[in-house]
């Protein structure tokens, strides 16, 4: 479904990604783990078209998206939940969700998708007329995920969804991600510092160090890998 081929990207004079190749099959949950500054977020921003690659290509279902504008990438079926949630704090929950569906014109399907995200996160239905900025951190993360789902993505990108959240909320978020993948067949690309939680729900994983992919395997194998255990699982 998604194919990154030898992708490099830079911020000014700093090369953030170095010949990164990642393949994501339809219906999979893939996770990318690594330390702060490894290039994980840059990988997602490059897929979304916010960062332009200096080398390599990005294909979605065989269509080259390299250099495509971000709105066209969303229209192609790719939505991102950014690090730090980045909801619109002065807009209501409902208005944030409406913006998620901004590029769509299928009104009846939008209403059904709104009902679906409210079924995933009932608290958002109760808070639908409340300003996003007044929600708790966990509720804001739920809103950010729901806003991305309102675009009806085939590929959902998530950047550190557990960041700053209580363990119970993290558990709930990861259970919902599994549900979204199972019920809808939505393909998920998850960037996460909580390597243990990410590898538990993912089918396959990649390890990134200093902008390069250094390890790739089935998640079950990475959970047992001594290098991964020592560096990322605290074992």
Residue 223 CA from chain centroid, whole number = 21
Phi, psi torsion values for 190, nearest 5 degrees: -115, 120
| Domain spans, the chain | 1-77+155-163+187-235, 81-152
pLDDT tens figures, 106-127:
989 999 999 999 999 999 999 9
How far apart CA 106 and CA 172 sit, in angstroms, is: 30
Question: How many Cβ atoms are within 10 Å of 70's Cβ, its own excluded?
Answer: 13
SS (H, E, C) the chain: CEEEEEEEEEECCEEEEEEEEEEECCCCEEEEECCCCCCHHHHHHHHCCCCCEEEEEEEECCEECCCCCHHHHHHCCEEEECCCCCCCCCCEHHHHHHHHCCCCCCHHHHHHHHHHHHHHCHHHHHCCCCEHHHCCHHHHHHHHHHHHHCCCCCEEEEECCCCCCCHHHHHHHHHHHHHHHHHHCCEEEEECCCHHHHHHHCCEEEEEECCEEEEEEEHHHHHHCHHHHHHHHCC
pLDDT at position 11 is: 83
pLDDT at position 235 is: 60
pLDDT at position 93 is: 97
Per-position pLDDT tens, the chain of length 235: 999 999 999 988 889 999 999 999 999 999 999 998 899 999 999 999 999 999 999 999 999 999 899 999 999 999 999 988 899 999 999 999 999 999 888 989 999 999 999 999 999 999 999 999 999 999 999 999 999 999 999 999 999 999 889 999 999 999 999 999 999 999 999 999 899 999 999 999 999 999 999 999 999 999 999 999 999 987 6
Q: How many Cα atoms are found within 13 Å in the side-chain-facing hemisphere of 52?
A: 5
Residues 6+ apart with CB under 8 A from 117: 97, 124, 146, 149, 150
- CATH of span 1-77+155-163+187-235: 3.40.50.300
Cα distances from 39 to residues 4, 9, 20, 94, in angstroms, run 14, 10, 10, 33
pLDDT at position 193 is: 86
């Amino acid at each position: 479904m998604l194919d990154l081929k030898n992708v490099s990207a830079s911020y000014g004079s700093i090369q953030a990604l170095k010949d990164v190749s990642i393949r994501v099959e339809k219906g999979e949950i893939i996770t990318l783990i690594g330390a702060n500054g490894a290039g994980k977020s840059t990988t997602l921003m490059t897929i979304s078209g916010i960062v332009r690659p200096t080398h390599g290509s990005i294909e979605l279902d065989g269509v080259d998206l390299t250099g495509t504008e971000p709105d066209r990438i969303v229209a192609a079926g790719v939505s991102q939940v950014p690090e730090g949630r980045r909801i619109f704090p002065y807009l209501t929950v409902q208005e944030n969700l409406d913006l998620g569906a901004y590029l769509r014109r299928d009104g009846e399907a939008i209403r059904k998708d709104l009902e679906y995200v409210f079924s995933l996160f009932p608290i958002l239905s109760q808070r639908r007329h409340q300003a996003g900025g007044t929600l708790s951190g966990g509720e804001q993360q739920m809103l950010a995920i729901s806003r991305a789902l309102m675009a009806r993505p085939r590929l959902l990108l998530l950047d550190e969804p557990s960041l700053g959240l209580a363990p119970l909320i993290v558990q709930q978020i990861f259970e919902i991600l599994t549900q979204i993948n199972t019920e809808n067949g939505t393909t998920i690309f998850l960037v996460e510092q909580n390597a243990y939680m990410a590898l538990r729900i993912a089918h396959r994983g990649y390890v990134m160090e200093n902008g390069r992919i250094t390890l790739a395997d089935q998640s079950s194998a990475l959970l047992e890998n001594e290098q991964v255990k020592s560096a990322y699982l605290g074992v």
